[in-house]
């Protein structure tokens, strides 16, 4: 059995033991890994994969997605507005909706090609200048514009918490924000902190190195 499958099974067993939510979805973060590293997981039946660059995703996944319709592709990196056209065509989920200009472009492109993606609003939960995301206090207004004006399918919130060792504090704040707007999903937690994330209701966790090993 391929090492990535063994690692995936290990993460799933850990979730079964430690998570009350048995519907946590594991996004295998496949960015930078060549397609031959991903094929064992695909053949095993894993469905959710994450990329952070639009162009890389198109090259790697276009043919595969045409053959394997069960695959769900997640854009977990920053989306530039000039890449929206390609992203809406390629991805099933976008985790990084972080400004109204981007939201508007996604809405227009979805309407143009008759596609409806599942979207997450990215929250700058640590108020960090170097990170993207909506400030927590601006969430209600932004969410209402996305849903009521642009008719976007906002399914949840996403965050990249500060690396300060206080992730539980930020994950708890994300849970409170999610509940405040009545959303279902939370995209948070990576290889280093997904156990803490699921304690606070994470429903999508983004796992890279724990499945595929360290990147070059």
The pLDDT tens digits for 11-49 are 999 988 887 767 899 999 998 888 888 999 999 999 999
At 21 the pLDDT is: 66
Report yes or no: 32 and 50 within 8 Å, Cβ to Cβ: no
Dihedral Cα 31, 32, 37, 38, nearest 10 deg: 20
Q: Residue 213 has what pLDDT?
A: 86
pLDDT, residue 11, reads 93
- End-to-end, the C-alpha distance of the chain in Å comes to 23
> Residue 202, exposed/middle/buried by CB under 10 A (0-12, 13-18, 19+)?
buried
Low-confidence stretches of the chain (pLDDT < 70) are 21, 216
Question: Which pLDDT belongs to residue 216?
Answer: 64
- Token digits of residue 118: 């599942």
pLDDT reported for residue 165: 74
The predicted pLDDT at position 41 comes to 95
How much is the pLDDT for 134?
A: 96
The pLDDT value recorded for residue 166 is: 87
Q: What is the pLDDT of residue 175?
A: 97
pTM over 0.85? The answer is: yes
- List Cβ neighbours of 190 (8 Å cut-off, separation of 6 or more): 29, 205, 206, 207, 208
Phi-psi region for residue 82, left (φ > 0), alpha (ψ -120 to 50) or beta?
alpha
The CATH number for 3-212, chosen from 3.40.50.360, 3.20.20.10, 3.30.2010.30, 3.40.350.10, is 3.20.20.10
């Amino acid at each position: 059995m391929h090492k990535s499958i063994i690692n995936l099974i290990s993460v799933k067993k850990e979730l079964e033991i430690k998570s009350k939510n048995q519907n946590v979805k594991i996004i295998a973060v496949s960015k930078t890994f060549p397609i031959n590293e991903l094929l064992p997981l695909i053949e095993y039946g894993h469905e959710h994969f994450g990329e952070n660059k639009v162009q890389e995703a198109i090259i790697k996944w276009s043919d595969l997605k045409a053959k394997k319709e069960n695959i769900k592709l997640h854009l977990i990196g920053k989306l530039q507005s000039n890449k929206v056209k390609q992203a809406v065509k390629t991805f099933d989920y976008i985790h990084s909706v972080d400004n109204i200009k981007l939201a508007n472009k996604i809405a227009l492109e979805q309407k143009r090609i008759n596609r409806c993606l599942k979207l997450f609003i990215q929250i700058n939960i640590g108020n960090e200048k170097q990170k993207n995301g909506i400030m927590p206090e601006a969430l209600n207004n932004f969410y209402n514009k996305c849903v009521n004006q642009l008719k976007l399918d906002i399914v949840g919130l996403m965050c990249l918490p500060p690396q300060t060792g206080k992730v539980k504090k930020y994950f708890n704040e994300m849970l409170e924000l999610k509940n405040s707007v009545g959303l279902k999903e939370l995209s948070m937690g990576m290889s280093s902190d997904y156990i803490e994330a699921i304690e606070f209701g994470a429903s999508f966790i983004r796992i890279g190195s724990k499945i595929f090993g360290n990147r070059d």
